[in-house]
Amino acid sequence: MDLRAQFEALKATLARYDYRYYVLDDPEVPDATYDRLMGELRALETAHPHCITPDSPTQRVSGTPLKHFDAVSHRVPMLSLENAFLDADVEAFDRRVRERLETEELIDYHCEPKLDGLAISLTYVEGHLVVGATRGDGVTGEDVTSNLRTMKSVPLRLQGTVPALVEVRGEVFMSDAGFARMNREALAKGEKIFVNPRNAAAGSLRQLDPSITATRPLDAFFYGVGAVEGGTLPATHGEFVALLRAWGLRTCPETRVARGAAGLLAYYRDIGARRATLGYQIDGVVYKVDAFQSQRELGFVARAPRWAIAHKFPAEEEITQVRAIEWQVGRTGALTPVARLEPVFVGGVTVSNATLHNIDELTRKDVRVGDTVVIRRAGDVIPEVVRVIPERRPVGAVEAALPLACPVCGSAIQRVHGESVARCTGGYVCLAQRKEAIKHFAARRAMDVEGLGDKVVDQLVEAGLVESPADLYRLTVEQLAGLARMGEKSATKIAAALEKSRRTTLPRFLFALGIPNVGEATALALAEHFGDLSPLRMATLEQIQAVPDVGPVVAASIRGFLDDSRQASVVDQLIALGLVWEVQTVSRSDDLPFAGKTFVCTGTLPTLGRADAEALIRKFGGKVTGSVSKKTDYILAGADAGSKLAKAVELGVAVIGEDQLKAMVSAS
């Protein structure tokens, strides 16, 4: 093989490996094989520099930092889209399309998620990348070719038969896992962190030094076309997206064709339900008339096409003002700063309160009374303050400080060195802790006392009828019926539910006690290990730590709780009042399909409740934990999954849905 042929063969092989890895997510060879071939190519280019070509994979990071970006005029303008926010807006869009096409037949639309990134245009001549530009104002963008060349999901040369000139459009973005990893690394180095993935992607792509861009976890999906010369397009947009994939360009796997307004709305709701599991940020979906001929007939209005529309999700971030900062006391005494806000509509609801998590977060974000802040609410996640807008800070904005005494009961505040959480030391003396402890005890996944909701518990505690969980079993129907908005029928039902809850399981009872750091999975592990409560109460710290997945911190929490005279008294009273339990033994058979496998559950599943899914996993030999690690085998993810899913993706943990879980059980 001559020298030129050797070069071309190596470049073609590496390009194929890149395509399989970065576009298809289906690696063809191990990393070591790829690295070895790349090393061979670099060695050849060092020995024969005259053979280096711009499309060589070694040239992705090259050149010196730019002083500024040159302007690029788009051959075909990169237009904006009109927005739809309501179902009625989508139905009106579909009606207008059919009226202009003079048809009563249902229209086929190509649907895709609306990525929250930075729009780009790539121009290929004879299959080679020559120019990459940002959208800019739609007519003129910035030349970011050098930076785009550093991205592995941007091919330097297209595959197959390609027009003499083709301009493809897409979006540069940063995955949730990549964003989290980049910010963690920045924090470790003491560098500034980014606010959100979109800002991170835009800032990374617009670096004047391409070598910096190369270190950022950027990705891209391609979905559109601009100028085409010396070639023809297929008949539909869906076919064109398939052609993009054939050329080696990465496309979103969530695209599909839907028919009519009903099909569009079904797609919108499906993507909305799975939004948190996608692994990247989107702010809506885009509908495009599928047939290119129909697109040409529909044409444009002003700077937007008549044949496409963006259906936006409710805003997840908004700007508002901090009226006050107050401190809430939780079940374990933890003090949480809460921002009282000027009410604002965000994430589909009106928000007037947002969490600031803890004193360290409050200090880091430097939130003060009077500040204008950005708040975020995604799905059912508790609204949080993302950041302050410093240029809008009023003169005399008041800093918030950790109180010296509990704002509810006046007890001393304790903050253990090295911990970010400060706690009230009042225990059941503290009205707030007492209420939250009773609510936790009666919750569905604990003692499951039906009808004993938050408002009823608040009244019982405030009336002095309940000072600890044991007092619940001393309540009479008459006492319950005397509460506000409580009739005798409802009171009788609660009394019956309390009576029913006297017979429970040891895992439920241990979880209901509210031992710090003991969730359902740890409660189950303790029950299985000790078999009954008495051996656990007599166990040493070392014996407790011998329980699977119970480390020194959790063991100390358990031992400290059991040694507390107030807590011990409550446990003794509950036993004296007739609470009994059965230990649930989980089969350890190696024949079960999930034997030896560790699961983490997150998000809302379509039909199974969280407790039902976890019970199913345990029934078939699996183990359920509350946090994701390298030891996790599967993460069962539903709608509105959050940071656990992002961490699982980052660690390469297998992500499954409810259907896959059921299929795994059925196959056993």
Among all residues, which ones are annotated catalytic?
A: 114
- Measured CA distances, 121 to 225, 274, 285, 391 (Å): 9, 28, 20, 34
CA 574 to CA 577: how far, in whole Å? Answer: 5
- Measured CA distances, 226 to 14, 287, 549 (Å): 28, 18, 56
- The amino acid at residue 146 is S
Tokens 């704002």: give the residue: 407
CA 359 to CA 312: how far, in whole Å? Answer: 35
By the 8 A CB rule, do 433 and 333 touch?
Answer: yes
Could you give the 3-state DSSP secondary structure of residue 477? helix
Q: For residues 333-372, b (16+ Cβ closer than 10 Å) or e, as one string? A: bbbbbbbebeebebbeeebeebbbbbbebbbebebbbebb
Look at residues 157, 368, 115 and name the one whose alpha carbon lies nearest to residue 249: 157
Could you give the 3-state DSSP secondary structure of residue 471? helix
Beta strands (DSSP E) in 260-330 are: 282-289, 300-301, 304-305, 308-312, 317-329
Phi, psi angle pair for 535, to nearest 5°: -60, -35
| Residues contacting 663, CB < 8 A, separation 6+ | none
DSSP state of 67: S
Strand partners, 412: 405
CA 52 to CA 41: how far, in whole Å? Answer: 10
Could you give the 3-state DSSP secondary structure of residue 123? strand
CA 227 to CA 230: how far, in whole Å? Answer: 10
CA 498 to CA 447: how far, in whole Å? Answer: 9
Measured in Å, how far apart are the chain's first and last C-alpha atoms?
53
CA 173 to CA 200: how far, in whole Å? Answer: 8
In the 3-class helix/strand/coil scheme, how is 564-583 assigned residue by residue?
CHHHHHHHHHHHHCCCEEEC
